[in-house]
Amino acid sequence: MIYYDVFNGDADGLCALHQLRLIEPRDSQLITGPKREIDLLGRVPLDGVAGVTVLDISMEKNAAALERLLESGVQVSYFDHHFPGEIPNHPGLQAHLDTRPDVCTSLLVDAYLEGRARAWAVVGAFGDNLDHSARRAAESLNLDPSTLDDLRELGICLNYNGYGPSIEDLHFAPDDLYRRLQPYADPRDFIAGDAACARLRDGYADDMARARALVAEYDDARHRLFILPAEPWARRASGVYANELAQQAPEKAHAILTCLSTGGFLVSVRAPLSRLEGADTLCRQFATGGGRKGAAGINQLPEADYDRFLDAFRAAWA
């Protein structure tokens, strides 16, 4: 019988699982992928399963696979902060769900663990662009400002690694990156002791320098929209650049449209930090869209839908 840990490949998913397994160790098979690859639960077989833990992937997008597992008698623990859709009423499901815009999955796991691996929850919250929530969670750790800045940088770099439509675009496959985190109970030791941290930091700096040189395609008092080219650096930078822009102009909504080599756009949307709502509602208007209230995306927006998206983007935060 095999346990499965199914998790998003971004900072929040990585740090949520890392916290959980630091405190509740378990030999398990990992199922993950790039940040936008969220229909992961269907990879879990229906036979020979001892149990499944799911972290930071939309229940709505995995509803059919979840139902199949529950009907097969599999026990499922589910931690997530995305829009869940209809939550199954089943004794085999232990659901830890919270869609409030200032909560991420790492903070849900932190609450479940009563803060026993909180430094990693802080890293995950920073990576999810929840600076205020991260700093609030860190208060009990009594960290000096320099250390807190280091944890913020680590969260951003872990998150940066998750973007891109394929593993080939990433510096590290998310399951490999998780295994590099595993030996470190303290994120400061990972920063100091693993070469992956320097590689991510250098890659992030180079890709973000290119993104920051771009000029907005659309810019008004409440919105900014950028279009990035169909290049690996742009696919990696898209989401973290959207987060950075949101921090710089918290009263504005932001959209990053990254050109896909197959046509159309990969879209990252950030609600104004001053009003963290509406991003998920906007993106769900489009076929491959989803996410959460403060940050959402569309996996493939056809070029023909660009004008419709721009109109909807402006209307969402009129």
- In the predicted model, what is the mean pLDDT of the chain? 96
Beta-carbon contacts of residue 62 (< 8 Å; ≥ 6 apart): 38, 39, 40, 41, 42, 54
β-pairing, 218-219 vs 223-228, is antiparallel
Contact 228, 219 (CB under 8 A): no
Domain coordinates of the chain in residue numbers? 2-201, 214-316
Tell me the per-residue pLDDT of 262-271, one tens digit each, with 9 for 90 and over.
Answer: 999 999 999 9
Tell me the per-residue pLDDT of 286-313, one tens digit each, with 9 for 90 and over.
Answer: 999 998 899 999 999 999 999 999 999 9
Strand arrangement of the beta sheet that strand 49-55 belongs to: 29-31, 2-7, 49-55, 76-80, 93-97
Fold of 2-201: inorganic pyrophosphatase (n-terminal core) (3.90.1640)
Fold of 214-316: Diaminopimelate Epimerase; Chain A, domain 1 (3.10.310)
Establish whether domains 2-201 and 214-316 are of one fold.
no
Percentage of the chain modeled with pLDDT above 90: 93
How much is the pLDDT for 36? 83
CA–CA dist 142, 160 (Å, integer): 27
CA angle 62, 63, 64 (to 5 degrees): 100
CA–CA dist 46, 59 (Å, integer): 18
Contact 38, 65 (CB under 8 A): no
DSSP 8-class letter at 140: G
Q: What is the mean pLDDT of residues 184-200?
A: 97
- The helix-helix angle for 118-127 and 145-162 (nearest 10°) equals 60
* Helix and strand element counts for the chain (H, E): 12, 11
How much is the pLDDT for 166? 85
How much is the pLDDT for 307? 98
